[in-house]
Structure 1
């Protein structure tokens, strides 16, 4: 994510998408699947609004919305990410979203944030 890419595993033999990360393809049992870049564009599969600050550094950001997004360019695999405040007020299952990688002040790793899809960008 530091390279601002969403990468998921894909079997080099049968081309099956794999998520979460594994050492072996569950379909054809080939070892060491490759990591491939995937367009961070998908559809909201599920979401949850959290009022409890699970991470102390983000306590000032509650409530926040975690979205589970289905990626059509990755065989329908689903990836978690956060939604920014403004976008999270009108979220609905089935909404088209696009991911952006954002590095918060003082953070080491970027976060994947989902925004309403805008095909003009």
Structure 2
């Protein structure tokens, strides 16, 4: 059992995700039967009911689907400066599944825009057992919405 409030669930369904981060890659579930992408982790594919879907590496690039700025440290153990921005990132290389994470280059004056291109990076904070996936903008996106 780890001291941080993130890491594998007790039932182990998401352990390959966390082990992937430790290995330096983003892994998401993909059904071995119908090839549908699955997120969050499940024991069974909701599309074809195959048990024990597989895990595949996914390129950690996508676009901001939505975002929120937080001024309160909801998880005291999470080492982020306040305020911080949480983004829901749509991954085109994983059937447009959406993954949540913190945007590391956001400032109070420079809010993200829906549609901004982002790249994931994996960080292991000092003293932590499991790394976290975080996001950075890769380019300014024109035509995005606030």
Tell me the SS of whatever aligns to 2:77: helix
Residue 60 of structure 1, CA deviation: 6.3
Partners of 2:61 and 2:91 within 8 A in 1: yes
* Superposition TM-score, scaled by structure 1 size: 0.89
Moved over 2 A (4+): 57-60, 86-90
1:7-18 to structure 2, matched below 5 A, reads 7-18=27-38
Q: Which residue of 1 aligns with 2:136?
A: 115
- For the pair 1:37 / 2:57, whether they are aligned, the reply is yes
Counterpart of 1:46?
66
Alignment of 1:66-85 (within 5 A): 66-84=86-104
Contact 2:85–2:106 (Cα < 8 Å) also in 1:
no
For the Cα contact (< 8 Å) 1:103–1:110, is it kept in 2?
yes
CA contact (8 A) 1:53 1:59 kept: no
Q: Considering only aligned residues, what root-mean-square deviation do their CA atoms show, in Å?
A: 1.5
* Structure 1 Cα separation of the partners of residues 79 and 125 of structure 2: 14
- Normalized against structure 2, the TM-score is what? 0.75
Kindly indicate whether the alpha-carbon contact (under 8 Å) linking 1:43 and 1:95 is maintained by their aligned counterparts in 2.
Answer: yes
Per-residue deviation, 1:2: 0.9
Which sections of structure 2, spanning at least 5 residues, go unmatched?
Answer: 1-20, 140-146
In 1, Cα distance between equivalents of 2:54 and 2:103: 28
Question: Whose strand proportion is higher, 1 or 2?
Answer: 1
8 A contact 2:84–2:106 mirrored in 1: no
